């Protein structure tokens, strides 16, 4: 079954070409898309407005894509971490974060990650493989709380712009009229700054953007984020100045605060210089301890001082509340290294 392709994850254009190749009317593509993405039904035999012979043909050719989570771990704060098995014997994790009337799902785009950020458990795992659009979307459609979701953030395992084709496909399905029909404002994608793919994302979608910044000084950022050597954060900022973030689409910068490493007055000055001309927000995140890490988070008072200093310089800055730290579901903690036998 794993060697067969899935219907789920295909666009109407791809489904139309598929229908033509199977001797089916091309208009059946829209019917199939409705079953897949509106009714969340992937079994062709249940697609009752398609001819029985065609249903049988589809069922024989295509494998199911949906896969329920293998395990759920619940935090004291209500956050849930879901473990999914994917083809190849690998695993990924997603985090469900309820917050009053909001319910956010943090999805993964890769099993592991090759960006190598030193403060991130996923980065230590290395990259096993990128996910297909169907595997990305499965984290949503197979979630028990699927119908409660208000937002999805691509902030789980992996660098989304290291898997741009499949991520864009998933985003198209999420936001298209023939797909989930979600507003792009319900979706945020986080990137460490893969410059060659950044314009492509910004031109192709209207989803919110979150840039993993963590240090505005190039030499220092390169020490904790190897991506800086290939694509400096200054290049990322220059690209963002070309786009309009004054209306519905927003850009934010994620900043994990590590005591004595990136929280000095000098860093405040450099952040102000780097982000000049970009309408944005900085989200300050407490560093969540990982094994054998030399970094640690400032205390609450220091976090507040850092926030207030940035705010005083005209940069909207918030301190993000940590969720799910007790189950290793907070920012930077997702990892399936042990389960993948690494």
Residues carrying an active site annotation: 93, 331
Q: For residue 80, report the phi and psi dihedrals to the nearest 5 degrees.
A: -125, 135
Q: How far apart are CA 261 and CA 36, in angstroms?
A: 48
Q: How far apart are CA 325 and CA 286, in angstroms?
A: 11
Instruction: Return the CA Rg of the chain.
Output: 21
As a whole number of angstroms, the longest Cα–Cα distance in the chain is 70
Q: How far apart are CA 151 and CA 311, in angstroms?
A: 26
Q: For residue 226, report the phi and psi dihedrals to the nearest 5 degrees.
A: -55, -25
Q: For residue 4, report the phi and psi dihedrals to the nearest 5 degrees.
A: -90, 145
Q: How far apart are CA 277 and CA 238, in angstroms?
A: 9
Q: Please report where in the chains the tokens 């079954």 appear, as a residue.
A: 1
Q: How far apart are CA 340 and CA 85, in angstroms?
A: 10
Two tokens, residue 278: 């970009």
Pair 109, 166: CB distance under 8 Å:
yes
Helix axes 195-204, 233-240, angle to 10 degrees: 20
Which residues make beta-bridge pairs with 73? Answer: 81
Pair 282, 270: CB distance under 8 Å:
no
Two tokens, residue 236: 């990322």
Q: How far apart are CA 136 and CA 310, in angstroms?
A: 35
Pair 261, 223: CB distance under 8 Å:
no
Pair 117, 135: CB distance under 8 Å:
no
Pair 51, 304: CB distance under 8 Å:
no
């Amino acid at each position: 079954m794993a060697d067969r392709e899935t219907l789920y994850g295909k666009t109407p254009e791809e489904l139309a070409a598929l229908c033509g190749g199977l001797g089916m009317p091309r208009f059946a593509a829209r019917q199939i898309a409705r079953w897949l993405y509106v009714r969340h039904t992937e079994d062709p035999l249940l697609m009752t407005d398609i001819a029985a012979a065609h249903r049988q043909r589809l069922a024989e050719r295509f494998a199911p894509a949906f896969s329920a989570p293998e395990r759920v771990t619940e935090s004291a704060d209500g956050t849930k971490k879901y473990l999914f098995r994917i083809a190849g014997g690998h695993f990924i994790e997603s985090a469900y974060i309820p917050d009053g009337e909001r319910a956010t799902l943090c999805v993964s785009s890769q099993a592991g990650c090759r960006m190598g950020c030193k403060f991130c458990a996923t980065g230590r795992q290395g990259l096993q493989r990128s996910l297909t659009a169907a595997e990305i979307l499965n984290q949503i459609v197979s979630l028990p709380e699927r119908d409660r979701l208000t937002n999805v953030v691509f902030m789980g395992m992996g660098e989304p712009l290291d898997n741009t084709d499949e991520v864009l496909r998933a985003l198209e399905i999420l936001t298209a009229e023939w797909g989930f029909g979600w507003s792009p404002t319900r979706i945020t994608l986080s990137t460490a700054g893969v410059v060659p793919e950044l314009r492509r994302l910004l031109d192709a979608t209207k989803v919110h953007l979150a840039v993993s910044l963590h240090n505005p000084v190039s030499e220092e950022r390169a020490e904790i984020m190897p991506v800086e050597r290939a694509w400096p954060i200054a290049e990322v900022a220059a690209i963002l100045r070309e786009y309009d973030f004054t209306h519905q689409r927003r850009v934010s910068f994620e900043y994990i605060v590590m005591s004595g490493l990136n929280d000095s007055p000098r860093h405040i000055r450099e952040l102000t210089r780097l982000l000049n001309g970009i309408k944005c927000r900085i989200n300050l995140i407490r560093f969540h301890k990982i094994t054998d890490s030399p970094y640690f988070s400032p205390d609450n008072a220091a976090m507040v001082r850092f926030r207030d200093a940035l705010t005083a310089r005209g940069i909207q800055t918030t301190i993000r509340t940590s969720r799910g730290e007790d189950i290793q579901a907070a920012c930077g903690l997702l990892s399936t290294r042990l389960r993948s036998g690494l």
